[in-house]
């Protein structure tokens, strides 16, 4: 069985944050979630996450999707990566392939891990070290090989001699072991070193003494092994991940303008020939059809957008927009808004828990909440659906071909029938029948001589 142990108990003090390092976000997903997802993509059957003080926060995010092992901290407990992995020993079977990953290395790809497993099997290794060739290996442990290019040992940077310091193949901190050999080596680890810690890298010396086969697997993309320890490295990882995601969409026929400014979460679906302008965020389970335009500074969360839709600088969350709709700028669709085909929504229009039927138009400055609007309705400037009485929300129904004049207030619950006409400035509190004109205004009075009485003869 393929099992993975993810080391995620580190306190991450260099992040200078109250948030656990592995729960910081990259493209709106936690660092640790990327490591877990890559493990799942590589078909690892069981995922064990080593947690520390961050236990509750990690469990809150991942629930029962993984298994947790608590690493206690204190003078009575050993420190080090070797001790962390040893905590999972009872879950390791002799025939298992055991992958060890860092919870702060979110750029590792599932395909890379799958290729690692295949390499491990094909070469009949007992242990495989994920490595990389880099121009500047400063600070990294070096992979030292013999004259035949075979793995010999891992030497930490501070312990390198004059020859070893020149080696450019580095240790990533990711390893694959045969279960029985890992258990054997873990039980021989000790803390007899300057730091007094149990180092996982010491297992390779133990296995080497037994003349067991150890090889390296060199990643093709060095960014995959990047760890995150600071907010600066977090920003760099976000840039790399965003570039990866955006390139994948562009290869599928999506047009991204100034892509380095665009954030698209994994899992978003976008049809070909859709144009995404700069500073757009597409989040959650958003789906966008073909031939759409998502204008600059728009933010879509769990939105379902049809084909041939134009959205200028708007905010959409948990809403449905059907084909051939145009909206914005500065429109807002809140949860349960359903905009049917050929609808026009203009600037500063807000829709919440409402259906707008085919061909309906709300040009500007309107609030439509808890309502069901039919087809070909005109919602004029300043129309307000007054849906809340202080305790409960109430629904308004408006029939096809109705006309809602400027500055009309509709106090729910009311029913406006087909072809009804609501005169500008009216406050509607009762039902309006089909074809009726509804007018509710105080009588206009024009008072002569008012200016002179107010201000005198100026």
Query: Was 8 annotated as part of a binding site?
Result: yes
Query: Was 139 annotated as part of a binding site?
Result: no
Query: Was 104 annotated as part of a binding site?
Result: yes
Query: Was 196 annotated as part of a binding site?
Result: no
Query: Was 337 annotated as part of a binding site?
Result: no
d(CA 43, CA 2): 7
Query: Was 229 annotated as part of a binding site?
Result: yes
H helices then E strands: how many in the chain?
8, 37
Query: Was 382 annotated as part of a binding site?
Result: no
Closest CA to 283 of 315, 307, 248: 315
Query: Was 179 annotated as part of a binding site?
Result: no
Closest CA to 411 of 436, 390, 391, 394: 394
Query: Was 21 annotated as part of a binding site?
Result: yes
- Report DSSP state, residue 16: -
Query: Was 352 annotated as part of a binding site?
Result: yes
Query: Was 317 annotated as part of a binding site?
Result: no
Q: Strand locations in 212-311, DSSP E?
A: 214-218, 255-256, 263-264, 269-270, 275-276, 281-283, 287-288, 293-294, 299-301, 304-305, 310-311
Beta-ladder partners of 414: 396
Query: Was 171 annotated as part of a binding site?
Result: yes
d(CA 398, CA 387): 14
Query: Was 387 annotated as part of a binding site?
Result: yes
Question: How many residues appear in the chain?
Answer: 458
Query: Was 374 annotated as part of a binding site?
Result: no
d(CA 320, CA 339): 6
Question: Which residue of the set 157, 364, 394, 415 is catalytic?
Answer: 364
d(CA 38, CA 83): 24
Establish whether 364 is a catalytic residue: yes
- Report DSSP state, residue 188: T
Query: Was 80 annotated as part of a binding site?
Result: yes
Biggest alpha carbon–alpha carbon distance for the chain: 111
d(CA 9, CA 50): 6
Query: Was 141 annotated as part of a binding site?
Result: yes
> What are the start-end ranges of the H helices in 63-221?
81-86, 110-122, 179-186, 202-209
Burial pattern 51-61, b for ≥16 Cβ within 10 A else e, equals bbebbeebeee
Query: Was 417 annotated as part of a binding site?
Result: no
d(CA 394, CA 410): 11
Query: Was 406 annotated as part of a binding site?
Result: yes
Count CB-CB contacts under 10 A for residue 309: 24
39 sits in the region (left: phi over 0; alpha: psi -120 to 50; else beta) called alpha
Query: Was 14 annotated as part of a binding site?
Result: no
Query: Was 7 annotated as part of a binding site?
Result: yes
Query: Was 367 annotated as part of a binding site?
Result: yes
Annotated binding residues for acetyl-CoA: 387-388, 406, 424, 441
Annotated binding residues for UDP-N-acetyl-alpha-D-glucosamine: 7-10, 21, 80-81, 102-104, 141, 156, 171, 229, 334, 352, 367, 378
Annotated binding residues for Mg(2+): 104, 229
Active site residues: 364
Annotated binding residues: 7-10, 21, 80-81, 102-104, 141, 156, 171, 229, 334, 352, 367, 378, 387-388, 406, 424, 441
């Amino acid at each position: 069985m393929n099992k993975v142990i993810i080391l995620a108990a580190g306190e991450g003090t260099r992040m200078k944050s109250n948030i656990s390092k592995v729960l910081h976000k990259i493209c709106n997903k936690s660092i640790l979630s990327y490591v877990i997802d890559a493990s799942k993509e590589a078909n690892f059957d069981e995922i064990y996450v080593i947690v520390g003080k961050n236990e509750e926060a990690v469990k809150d995010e991942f629930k029962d999707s993984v298994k947790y092992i608590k690493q206690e901290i204190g003078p009575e407990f050993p420190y080090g990566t070797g001790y962390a992995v040893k905590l999972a020993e009872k879950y390791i079977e002799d025939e298992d392939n055991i992958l060890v990953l860092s919870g702060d290395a979110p750029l590792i790809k599932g395909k890379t891990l799958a290729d690692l497993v295949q390499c491990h099997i094909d070469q009949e290794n007992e242990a495989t070290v994920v490595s990389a060739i880099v121009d500047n290996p400063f600070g990294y442990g070096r992979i030292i090989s013999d004259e035949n290019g075979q793995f010999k040992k891992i030497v930490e940077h501070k312990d390198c001699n004059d020859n070893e310091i020149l080696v450019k193949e580095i240790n990533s901190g990711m390893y694959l072991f045969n279960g029985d050999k890992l258990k054997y080596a873990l039980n021989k680890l000790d803390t007899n070193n300057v730091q007094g810690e149990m180092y996982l890298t010491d297992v390779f010396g133990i296995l080497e003494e037994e003349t067991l086969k150890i090889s390296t697997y060199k990643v093709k993309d060095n960014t995959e092994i990047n760890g995150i320890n600071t907010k600066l490295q977090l920003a760099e990882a976000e840039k790399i991940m965003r570039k990866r995601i955006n390139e994948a969409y562009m290869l599928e026929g999506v047009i991204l303008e100034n892509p380095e400014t665009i954030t698209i979460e994994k899992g978003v679906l976008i049809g070909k020939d859709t144009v995404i302008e700069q500073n757009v965020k597409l989040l959650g389970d958003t789906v966008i059809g073909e031939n759409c335009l998502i204008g600059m500074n728009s933010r879509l969360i769990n939105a379902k957008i049809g084909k041939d839709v134009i959205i200028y600088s708007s905010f959409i969350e948990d809403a449905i927009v059907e084909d051939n709709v145009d909206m914005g700028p500065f429109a807002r669709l809140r949860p349960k808004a359903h905009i049917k085909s050929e609808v026009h929504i203009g600037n500063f229009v807000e829709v919440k828990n409402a259906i707008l039927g085919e061909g309906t138009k709300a040009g500007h400055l309107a609030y439509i909440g808890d309502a069901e609007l039919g087809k070909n309705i005109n919602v004029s400037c300043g129309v307000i659906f007054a849906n809340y009485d202080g305790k409960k929300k109430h629904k308004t129904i408006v029939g096809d071909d109705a006309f809602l004049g400027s500055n009309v207030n509709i106090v729910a619950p009311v029913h406006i029938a087909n072809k009804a006409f609501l005169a500008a400035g009216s406050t509607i509190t009762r039902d309006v029948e089909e074809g009726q004109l509804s007018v509710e205004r105080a009588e206009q009075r024009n008072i002569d001589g008012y200016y002179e009485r107010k201000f005198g003869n100026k």
